[in-house]
Amino acid sequence: MNSSDFSADVEAVHAIGAVPVILSMVKHMTGMRFAAVARVTDKNWVACAVDDSIDFGLKPGGELVLESTICHEIRQHRTPVIFGHASEHPLFSTHHTPRTYGLESYISIPIIMADGEFFGTLCAIDSVPANLEEPAIVKTLTLFAQLIAMSLDSQNNLEATQLALAAAKEHGRLRDQFVAVLGHDLRTPLSAIRMSSELLESRTTEKRSLNLIAAIRNSSVRMGMLIENVLDFARGRMGGGIPVKRQLVDDLGPILELALREVQMSSPEAQITHALDLPGGIYCDSLRITQLLSNLVGNAVTHGARSSPIRVQAWCEDADVVISVLNQGPPIAERLMPLLFEPFTRSEAGQRGEGLGLGLYIASQIAEAHGGTLQVTSTLEAGTAFVARFPSTIKWVY
């Protein structure tokens, strides 16, 4: 194994901005002229950071023979080694390391990671004696070693978090692509079901068969709405919002009335009244506004009281288009109000929720894409009212 195999460790230590200051402080406190952070394994000793004033010859990435160093022993017993005058020391006067490198003073502190892994050492050496008897020296260098270990742990945790985040984003992207492709491919067989139901309806007069055909048609309409909602959600997630193509529309009122008829056909049991008073020349995406209205009315059909009519109104007010959908029934719980326009959440009022919980989310996104808002109020006395408001004209920016 050569030093290139430890390039990541060298880079990790280099990335710790405090290391040069730590090495300078080590030299200042000990009076020694060489300080380093070393990566020590069972086979290698690699310099990761160096502050050298004696021309020892080591650079970051440089290696020493492991067995020639005392760090080899420190890795085994994990305790600091300190001596200030090797030639007069009872043990180190005959030790091979001071004799090999001509050392008189030496201090080495183990760097231990949070998981117990031995990373290496913070060390200092010199060819002349040094006074290392002061206890504060060992205590301070031990704190420096702990700081280096904590910084390395933080880097590892950050890298792991970044990898997990990248993986989550990729999984999310693939999931959204899958949903978009699936929704698109479901349109073809659904169109065939609708066309077949219409053909069968035109060719039979038997009441029981007509009821079954109507159920098939209504189910296909609801399925179509679900698919469109899923596709819009996927588009919004993948492209930064639901796209709209605004243009001048002269017949928004009749277009919305047609949408209400379609909802009524798919939910014949519902009572829907409307008052649509909209002028021509409204700047909007009529298909998206129709979708907004259908989602709001569909929500009212699902959660409103069957005994009371759903009241739909649309008018212009202060250069804004206002669309209101009001239904009676149990009010929405206060704790659910902040969640209504979030995806994949359903109002629990009445426990009659159907679908994926995307209708209100998409309606709010459509209003927002038009530069407007979607708001809700809900009381037992007044009922539940969703009110969409957006500018009716182009807002020029100079």
What distance in Å separates the CA atoms of residue 302 and residue 174, rounded to the nearest whole number? 32
List the chain pLDDT tens, one digit each, 398 residues: 344 579 999 999 999 999 999 999 999 999 999 999 999 999 999 999 999 999 998 999 999 999 999 998 999 999 999 999 999 999 999 999 999 999 999 999 999 999 999 999 999 999 999 999 898 999 999 999 999 999 999 998 888 888 888 888 887 777 767 766 666 677 677 778 878 888 888 888 888 888 888 878 777 777 777 777 777 776 666 555 677 889 999 999 999 998 898 888 878 889 999 999 999 999 999 989 999 999 999 999 988 998 999 999 999 999 999 999 999 999 998 888 888 888 766 544 344 444 456 889 889 989 999 999 999 999 999 999 999 999 998 654 43
Residue carrying structure tokens 């290698």: 44
- Smallest CA-to-CA distance from 228 within 183, 192, 288 is with 183
**Residues in the chain, overall count:** 398
CA 236 to chain centre: 15
What distance in Å separates the CA atoms of residue 227 and residue 224, rounded to the nearest whole number? 5
**Domains defined for the chain, CATH in brackets:** 3-160 (3.30.450.40), 165-239 (1.10.287.130), 247-391 (3.30.565.10)
CA atoms within 13 A on the CB side of 218: 15
